[in-house]
Structure 1
Amino acid sequence: MSTHEARLKALREQLKADRLDGFVVPLTDEHMSEYVGDYAQRLEWLTGFKGSAGSAIVLPEAAAMFTDGRYTLQVREQVDGKHWQYVPVPDVSMTDWLRENAKEGARIGYDPWLHTRDWVKAATAALAERGAELVAVGRNPIDKIWTDRPQPSNARLVAYDNGRAGKSSAEKRQEIADWLAERKADAVVLSALDSIAWVLNIRGADVAHTPVALAYVVVNADATADLYVAPDKIGDEVKQALGNAVRVHDRTAFEGALNGFAGKRVAADPERAVAAIFEGLEAGGAKILSVRDPAVLAKAIKNPAEVAGHKAAQARDGAALTRFLRWIGEEAPKGGQTELTAAAKLEAFRRETGALDDLSFDTISATGAHGASPHYKVDEASNAPIEPGQLYLVDSGGQYRDGGTTDVTRVVPVGAPTDEMKDRFTRVLKGHIALARAVFPHGTTGGQLDTLARLPLWEAGLDFAHGTGHGVGAYLSVHEGPQRIAKPSYPGGGPSEPLRAGMICSNEPGYYKAGEYGIRIENLVLVEDRDVPGQEQPMLGFETLTFAPIERDLIVAEMLSPEERAWLDTYHAQVLAIVGPQLAGEDKAWLEAKCAPISV
């Protein structure tokens, strides 16, 4: 019996002991985080799935894995199909599956600290149609059988410099207090870890590659705050930076504190606060305002200091990536390189800048067929040699303490690419350029722009099964809302936020041929005000922030319009101007050749 088969069997035995007929296992933590600490990796422990988005449901006679189009291939490689059904999201939701598969009278368990209130309502209604019920558990049954489960991180918090943040915590809390006053509210509960880090100007190391700390915060109408965090995580420097207006409590006291708002109006975010928070507030007699966390939009609109930090980080990150692109282009055809050695070499180049704090996510180092899995994660078991005839895709980024969180994807041919590879790459590039050149009125959403990046692929009967762009933080999460560029039905889709000047998004169309190769071209872009001759309303556009050469050996120049070639030549001139001075010798000569104008 395999390890994961044994774990599935053990969970079913535990559910039986708990008088449950099923259990729902999401990939998140008690903060509804996308990326979670090792202690919260319950889905991977149970199933073997290493992706960053997914869920599972276990019933006595059936078990299902729910993943979206980014993980269609990966889930089949990592999760045993003999024991698990593969269910595509959003074609079939977890509530749909429960409605079809739960038996009458079944008691399906869920952890109220790992689901939103809206999900609980939807699942309860779906099960009721089957004569079944959803049952909140006091202790997660996986935690009962995961005997060597890691403890939550005890890393200390660090103060984030006000100059780099561009605004003090006191100023941010006052803005939230003004927001509360407009709503005649007494307090707001912040549970999203990046919101807490941003509001208090603190950073942590409790989640891999995301500088946040496990904590909760209540911001009050008088601009004071109550921070709930493990006491040994805070030193004198952080206490001094927080000041007397931020009261510190043990994190374990948070659940009880929710009962202390009787008769008060308390705001909580239905998308980011778990069901248990709403239940605690309701049990204590609070009047709840279900509204979006006030830090979400404020954090997304970068101030001048945050933009400056981003640009500084992007410049040095681009130089590190450029050195790597030259290295991999020369070394891979010789043989002996693997996905892991390549990822390690890229990280080494970033480390040599002397400014890297961490990677911003696990590097997607994917050669050949692995590139067709958009969120492929290499490990010792999957590590593949990089061989001639393949396309090598690398999606990577760094966390830089001066304010930059980078995220960039490039593709390198190993040897001579096929005509099909070049055609597909050029179509992806045309979509990337169309989005980069877009000019649009205030009030435009990312969803409205998404089509621009897909049209060149659609014209050939092609598409890609992920969003075109996500928001990015300032030395925070590499995936940040509320802005996104995506179809409503795709990951990162749904109701779309109007783009505003100061927001940072990715621009990353792609193409993936199962079993053969993957292509993605990703830069980060800053939404900026744009003057248009004769305009009758305020307009916006994108300023590109990422600077590294786009592989010219994969471009069919004849497929590009004069305007597209002009954009590419201008972009490469910017790369040479920004990255070139940081390089010397053969690195610089290589970059100059890669950035030469494209000729037809």
Structure 2
Amino acid sequence: MRQTFDETTDPSFGAKHLPLLRAEMAKQGLDGFLIPHEDEHQNEYLPDANERLAWATGFTGSAGAAVVFHDRASMFTDGRYTVQVKAQTDPALFERRDLNDVAAYLETAAKEAVIGYDPRLHSPDALMALKAAAQKAGATLKPVDANPLDLAWGADRPAQPTAPVVPHEDVHSGESHASKRARIGKAVADAGADAVVLTASMSIAWLFNVRGGDVIRSPLPIGQAILAADGKARLFLDTAKVTNALPAWLGDDVRIEATEQLPAALDGLSGRKVMIDPSLSSAWYFDRLDAAGATVVRAMDPCAIPRAAKNAVEIEGSRRAHIRDGAALSRFLHWVDTVVQETLPDEREVVEALERFREQTGALKDLSFDTIAGAGPNGALPHYKPVGASIRKVEKGSLLLVDGGGQYLDGTTDVTRTMAVGEPSEDQRHKFTLVLKAHIAMATIRFPAGTSGMALDAIARAPMWAAGLDYDHGTGHGVGSYLGVHEGPQRIAKWGTTEPLLEGMILSNEPGYYREGHWGIRIETLQVVTPAEVPEGGERPMHGFEQLTFAPIDRKLISVEMLTPDERAYVDAYHAETLAKVGPLMDGEALDWLKRVCAPL
């Protein structure tokens, strides 16, 4: 029976699978082997066939890695998965470490060892740090032609997904794929290259105006493309995914070829200048192009910025999707404020309820990520998911944090609300209001055109810092248009990209507060970068944010006296707009409730 992977994957996987992996490592003369979470396309969410880390360890989170030696192994995750990694991996088999410590671990643990890695799974950028660490340890990082984990997995490995690749109509994309190919081709030529190799699923989907179903929670087709500077392209797909409608949709300037033909196509770029992104494409492509005699031009994926800066049609679609989604979420919040207060369900029941409300829209294609529902102490884990024995029931006097979103043809949503169960304490109201102040600061900020998200991050944190508090995640991430819920290059965080926030970019606004062992708070909406009015006497073009998400904020948790007059006015205006936009999609008791909770403070 072929294995599948979900949040209930158990810790016995390591005991069963590590001996098989180690046997294959020995055959290849390897002392150790690196297992990243990423697959050949650097996807965040993976098809079951590419869940190598889950097969080896049992851990199914979206960020992690493992290093396996013959006599020991280490598991690396970040703070989002503290509970999940404990539930899914065996501590007798895996030492648990922080995801940022892989390179430092190799420096001390890999003395004079031969460490194997699959060049198809690591970007050149990621490999640089690992190679430097191995060199310090006197170790060797050795690329493998045949992944020993794949060989150990053998016949039990699920088949690669073959979901049909379908057109994403111009009514949703706002620009034809011919127009996109022409302007991306020009960007390639302007960079001094003859062609670009594209391996990121999101760029394939955006450039050709297609969508697929190969990746859970994201409508992505797995494939590769070579786009020439003249706008003509070769698209490499598993032939099982090619529907009768696809060739006609793509036209004569896009040649569809089988995935097996890609290596020869790369070899055929000999003598050409070829652009490729070292942060998104695996080392295998660089090695292959070098061996073919191509001149590699390392540069950002030329689709990244155009994809991130949404056009007018995509923005309007996102507005519609968020109003539809906001009505579903508001019905859910009404359910929490009434039924949940009495029945006190468990977190899994809460997740299922929110998913039902979204499904009732009739337009939901998928969730945009697995819904997070944290009751009490579990809410203090920013990316907790209800898993096995960790599932808690909602309790009076505590908080319930729910973070979820939907994939709709016209937009992708992501929203978090924190709700009181029973009467909140003064401390809960105080911390919630600080988070609300941080949220309002980012929602209302005006900034000069060309400013990066990293430069804005401190503005949201200022109310928290003034109280001696902070949160250990970014303030905002980029979001796609019926694509990935986590998409760069834009983000708002202390660290990372200095990419400017451009008009049309959609980002989350999600400050939080987490008291370990007690409860957590996060308020998240999505917003789009828009031009802002320049005050009289102003000298520079300015940008701001338009709110896309509309769902009420729990007023029981707001200490009104902590808000400035401007902050109070913002909350009243936001709730009035929520009622005006979402109210027409609601009726009965839920509508009456919405009117009450959206009344002025």
Which residue among 346, 355, 366 is the counterpart of 2:363? Answer: 355
Question: 1:258 & 1:536 partners in 2: Cα distance?
Answer: 50
Q: Which moved more, 1:433-442 or 1:375-384?
A: 375-384
Secondary structure at the counterpart of residue 489 of structure 2:
strand
- Cα displacement (A) at 1:337: 1.7
Q: 1:491 corresponds to which residue?
A: none
1:419 to 1:10, Cα distance in 2 relative to 1, 3 A: farther
Question: 1:423 & 1:143 partners in 2: Cα distance?
Answer: 52
Which residue among 518, 521, 540 is the counterpart of 1:537? Answer: 540
- Residue 329 of structure 2 is aligned to residue 304 of structure 1: no
Secondary structure at the counterpart of residue 109 of structure 1:
strand
Contact 2:122 2:282 in 1 (8 A): yes
Superimposed CA distance per residue, residues 400-437 of structure 1 (whole angstroms, 9 cap, x where no aligned partner): 11x21000000111112222221111111110000001
Q: Which moved more, 1:381-390 or 1:494-503?
A: 381-390
Give the residue type in structure 2 aligned to 1:150: P
- Cα displacement (A) at 1:249: 0.6
Give the residue type in structure 2 aligned to 1:249: E
Q: 1:69 corresponds to which residue?
A: 79
Match runs of 1:361-376 below 5 Å: 361-376=369-384
- Residue 552 of structure 2 is aligned to residue 549 of structure 1: yes
Secondary structure at the counterpart of residue 488 of structure 2:
strand
Which residue among 551, 560, 563 is the counterpart of 1:560? Answer: 563
- Cα displacement (A) at 1:382: 3.5
- Cα displacement (A) at 1:368: 1.5
- Cα displacement (A) at 1:119: 2.5
Contact 2:37 2:53 in 1 (8 A): yes
Which residue among 136, 141, 162 is the counterpart of 1:134? Answer: 141
- Residue 26 of structure 2 is aligned to residue 26 of structure 1: no
Match runs of 1:454-533 below 5 Å: 454-488=461-495, 494-533=496-535
Question: 2:393 & 2:141 partners in 1: Cα distance?
Answer: 47
Contact 1:454 1:509 in 2 (8 A): yes
Contact 2:14 2:93 in 1 (8 A): no
Give the residue type in structure 1 aligned to 2:77: T
1:266 to 1:435, Cα distance in 2 relative to 1, 3 A: same
Q: 2:181 corresponds to which residue?
A: 173
Question: 1:2 & 1:312 partners in 2: Cα distance?
Answer: 45
Give the residue type in structure 2 aligned to 1:502: G
Which residue among 560, 581, 596 is the counterpart of 2:599? Answer: 596
Give the residue type in structure 1 aligned to 2:93: H
Give the residue type in structure 2 aligned to 1:498: P
Question: 2:211 & 2:319 partners in 1: Cα distance?
Answer: 20
Contact 1:335 1:387 in 2 (8 A): no
Match runs of 1:136-285 below 5 Å: 136-147=143-154, 148-285=156-293
Superimposed CA distance per residue, residues 26-54 of structure 1 (whole angstroms, 9 cap, x where no aligned partner): 11110111121111111122222232111
- Residue 572 of structure 2 is aligned to residue 573 of structure 1: no
Q: 2:94 corresponds to which residue?
A: 84
Contact 2:12 2:89 in 1 (8 A): no
- Cα displacement (A) at 1:501: 0.8
1:323 to 1:53, Cα distance in 2 relative to 1, 3 A: same
- Cα displacement (A) at 1:380: 4.5
Q: 2:131 corresponds to which residue?
A: 124
Secondary structure at the counterpart of residue 425 of structure 1:
helix
Contact 2:489 2:497 in 1 (8 A): no
Secondary structure at the counterpart of residue 24 of structure 1:
strand
Secondary structure at the counterpart of residue 355 of structure 1:
coil
Give the residue type in structure 2 aligned to 1:357: K
Which residue among 573, 580, 589 is the counterpart of 1:586? Answer: 589
Question: 2:422 & 2:244 partners in 1: Cα distance?
Answer: 56
- Cα displacement (A) at 1:82: 3.0
Secondary structure at the counterpart of residue 303 of structure 2:
helix
Q: Which moved more, 1:26-35 or 1:300-309?
A: 26-35
Question: 2:347 & 2:516 partners in 1: Cα distance?
Answer: 18
Long gaps (5+) in structure 2: 1-10
Give the residue type in structure 1 aligned to 2:494: K
- Cα displacement (A) at 1:4: 2.4
Which residue among 67, 88, 103 is the counterpart of 1:57? Answer: 67
- Residue 144 of structure 2 is aligned to residue 114 of structure 1: no
Give the residue type in structure 2 aligned to 1:285: G
Question: 2:461 & 2:86 partners in 1: Cα distance?
Answer: 27
Question: 1:520 & 1:256 partners in 2: Cα distance?
Answer: 50
Q: 2:295 corresponds to which residue?
A: 287
Give the residue type in structure 1 aligned to 2:572: D
The alignment's TM-score, normalised by the length of structure 1, stands at 0.96
Contact 1:70 1:466 in 2 (8 A): no
Give the residue type in structure 2 aligned to 1:180: V
Q: Which moved more, 1:168-177 or 1:116-125?
A: 116-125
Give the residue type in structure 2 aligned to 1:10: L
Question: 2:429 & 2:90 partners in 1: Cα distance?
Answer: 35
Secondary structure at the counterpart of residue 261 of structure 2:
helix
Q: 1:17 corresponds to which residue?
A: 27
Q: 2:454 corresponds to which residue?
A: 447
- Cα displacement (A) at 1:273: 0.6
Q: 1:392 corresponds to which residue?
A: 400
- Cα displacement (A) at 1:381: 4.4
Contact 1:70 1:465 in 2 (8 A): no
Q: Which moved more, 1:192-201 or 1:19-28?
A: 19-28
The alignment's TM-score, normalised by the length of structure 2, stands at 0.95
Secondary structure at the counterpart of residue 238 of structure 1:
helix
- Cα displacement (A) at 1:65: 2.1
Question: 1:417 & 1:252 partners in 2: Cα distance?
Answer: 60
Secondary structure at the counterpart of residue 521 of structure 2:
strand
Secondary structure at the counterpart of residue 225 of structure 2:
strand
1:74 to 1:220, Cα distance in 2 relative to 1, 3 A: same
Secondary structure at the counterpart of residue 294 of structure 1:
coil
After TM superposition, which residue ranges in structure 1, 4 or more long, deviate above 4 angstroms? none
Question: 1:268 & 1:126 partners in 2: Cα distance?
Answer: 25
Secondary structure at the counterpart of residue 135 of structure 1:
strand
Contact 1:50 1:377 in 2 (8 A): no
Give the residue type in structure 2 aligned to 1:266: V
Secondary structure at the counterpart of residue 164 of structure 1:
helix
- Cα displacement (A) at 1:279: 0.6
Question: 1:380 & 1:125 partners in 2: Cα distance?
Answer: 39
Q: 1:37 corresponds to which residue?
A: 47
- Cα displacement (A) at 1:255: 2.4
Question: 2:132 & 2:247 partners in 1: Cα distance?
Answer: 46
Secondary structure at the counterpart of residue 76 of structure 2:
strand
Contact 2:534 2:540 in 1 (8 A): no
Match runs of 1:314-325 below 5 Å: 314-325=322-333
Contact 1:217 1:227 in 2 (8 A): yes
Secondary structure at the counterpart of residue 312 of structure 1:
helix
What is the Cα-based RMSD across aligned positions, in Å?
Answer: 1.5
1:313 to 1:82, Cα distance in 2 relative to 1, 3 A: same
Q: 2:7 corresponds to which residue?
A: none
- Cα displacement (A) at 1:7: 2.3
Secondary structure at the counterpart of residue 332 of structure 1:
helix
Contact 2:418 2:522 in 1 (8 A): yes
Long gaps (5+) in structure 1: 489-493
Contact 2:450 2:501 in 1 (8 A): yes
Q: Which moved more, 1:77-86 or 1:364-373?
A: 77-86
Contact 1:74 1:373 in 2 (8 A): no
